[in-house]
Amino acid sequence: MFATTLLGFTIGTIWMLMFLVVWLAIAFWPARVAGRKGHSFIGYFIFSLVFFPLSLLVAYLVPDRSNAPAAPAAPTTPVEE
């Protein structure tokens, strides 16, 4: 029959779950890099689930939007009393 291990799961199922956990953990890497640069964390996370090497390269090459200079404030006029 089937070889069972911990809680009745087969060895193949355990390996598949471990692979899935590692895959999801690695997918956070490009997402965090892009998120720190001011880009969409969720977008890069989904991108890295499908194309990890490309998403990692893109995440490191995109420009940083988090430290972009703010738009100049509108000039204020003094209020006369």
Residues in contact with 65: Cβ distance below 8 Å, sequence separation at least 6, in sequence order: 37, 38, 39
**pLDDT for 18:** 93
Look at 15-24, 44-53, 72-81 and tell me which has the smallest mean pLDDT: 72-81
- 48 falls in which pLDDT band (50, 70, 90)? very high
Tell me the C-alpha to C-alpha distance, in Å, between residue 12 and each of 3, 18, 33, 49, 51.
10, 10, 33, 22, 25
**pLDDT for 71:** 62
Q: What is the mean pLDDT of residues 57-64?
A: 93
